[in-house]
Amino acid sequence: MTRGAAAEDAAPRRRGRPSRTQTETGPATRDQILRAAREEFSERGYEKASVRGIAKAAGVDPALVHHYFGTKEQVFEAAVTATFAPVLEAPAALEEGPPDGVGERLTRFVLGIWENPATRVPLLAVVRSAMNNETAAAVFRRLIAAQILGRIARRLDLPDAELRAELAAAQLVGIAMLRYVLRVEPLASADVEQIVARVAPVVQGHLTGP
């Protein structure tokens, strides 16, 4: 990235609304920018993506990207949040049935998201960016802690709920990394029902066990 492009990504332009001569504004424009950002981060990763490139892909002036989202880090966080929208429903799995089945429900829910190509592809892009860049990793950690683990912990009426939620998440994230990101065999090719049968009791133990 050139010095000019790096400076342009690091510091937002003036915070006022861009003039209409630059492009039209509104919810549709914001969504258009967000879609372009998700594609840019997916294809290029965090380090190689730029606000200028996102703006070009969205067909808008870079000032509009800054207007709606701020810095590149803030654009990435918005894109990650949008990508993780299906995952953010995971805490609801705790309330969909009896407590003794929460491990299986949560395991099926998380693995189901990874099994679906429509949700797996953008998730892979986010995880790879987080693995290769500390700024992206910090955004990823904030989202996981606040939006997923925190919500799960609040639904567990136990004194060590936060630790239990983190251990359950570590189990599922570790499996996702080995199966879908690193593609370690035989896990990568194993039948998902076999994985659920072996993993769900462990997740159950983390969430509700002694």
pLDDT value at residue 24:
55
Write the CB contacts of 158 (distance below 8 Å, at least 6 apart in sequence). Answer: 164, 208
The mean pLDDT value for 80-107 works out to: 81
pLDDT value at residue 13:
46
pLDDT value at residue 18:
44
Matching residue, tokens 């258009």 = 32
**Among 89, 8, 100, 91, CA closest to 51:** 8
Quick: pLDDT tens for 158-182: 889 999 999 999 999 899 999 998 9
pLDDT over 60 (residue 8): no
Quick: pLDDT tens for 21-80: 344 557 788 889 988 988 888 788 888 889 999 999 999 999 999 999 998 989 988 888
Output the CA–CA distances (angstroms, integers) from residue 58 to 36, 42, 64, 152, in the order listed.
Answer: 5, 15, 10, 36
pLDDT over 50 (residue 130): yes
Inter-residue long-range contacts of 51-57, CB under 8 Å, 24+ positions, other chains counted: 51/8, 51/9, 51/75, 52/5, 52/8, 52/9
Contact 199, 172 (CB under 8 A): yes
pTM, two decimal places: 0.71
4-8, 87-91, 149-153, 202-206: which range is least confident on average?
4-8
pLDDT value at residue 17:
44
pLDDT over 60 (residue 115): yes
pLDDT over 90 (residue 202): yes
Quick: pLDDT tens for 136-160: 888 888 878 877 888 888 888 888 9
Quick: pLDDT tens for 180-190: 989 999 999 99
pLDDT over 60 (residue 4): no
